[in-house]
Amino acid sequence: MSKISRRDFLKTIGGAGLIASTVPSTFLTDLYAFSTSANLSQVEAWFYKKLPDKEIKCELCPRYCKLGDKERGYCGVRENKNGIYYTLVYGKVCAAHIDPIEKKPFFHFLPGTPAFSIATAGCNVNCKFCQNWQISQVRPEQVENVDLPPRDVVRYCLKYRCPTIAYTYTEPVIFYEYVYDTSVEASKKRIRNVVVTGAHINPEPMEKLTKVVDAIKIDFKAFSEDFYQKYVRGELEPVLEAARIVKKSGKWMEIVYLVIPTLNDSPEEIRKMCKWVIKDIGPDVPVHFSRFHPMYLIKNLPPTPVSTLERARNIALEEGINYVYIGNVPGHMAESTYCPNCKNIVIKRFAYQILQKNLKRGKCKFCGQPIPGVWS
Partner 1 sequence: MRKSRVVLIKGKGVLSDNQINIKILSVMLRKGLSLLGQVNNFHEALIQFFTPRDKVGIKINTIAGKKLSTKPQVSLALANLLNQVGIKERNIIIWDRTNKELKGAGYRLNYNGSGIRIFGTDTRGINYEYNLTIHRNIGSRFSKIQSKLINKSISLAILKDHGIAGITGVMKNYFGAIHNPNKYHDTNCDPYIAELSEVGLIKNKNKLSILDGLIVQYHRGPSYHSQWAEKCECFILSTDPVASDFIGWQLIEKIRKKKGLPTLEEEKRKPYYLFTAEKMGLGKANLNEIQLIEYEV
Which residues contact partner 1 (rule: CB under 8 A)? 1-3, 8, 53-55, 66-76, 126, 128, 137-139, 141-142, 233, 296-297
Measured in degrees and rounded to the nearest 5, phi and psi for residue 370 equal -65, 135
- Least separation, in Å, of the C-beta of 1 and partner 1? 4
- Least separation, in Å, of the C-beta of 145 and partner 1? 14
- Least separation, in Å, of the C-beta of 74 and partner 1? 5
| Residue number, 77 or 287, with CB nearest to partner 1 | 77
| Residue number, 139 or 192, with CB nearest to partner 1 | 139
| Residue number, 134 or 337, with CB nearest to partner 1 | 134
| Residue number, 34 or 296, with CB nearest to partner 1 | 296
- Least separation, in Å, of the C-beta of 89 and partner 1? 14
- Least separation, in Å, of the C-beta of 225 and partner 1? 15
- Least separation, in Å, of the C-beta of 67 and partner 1? 8
| Residue number, 70 or 360, with CB nearest to partner 1 | 70
| Residue number, 83 or 112, with CB nearest to partner 1 | 83
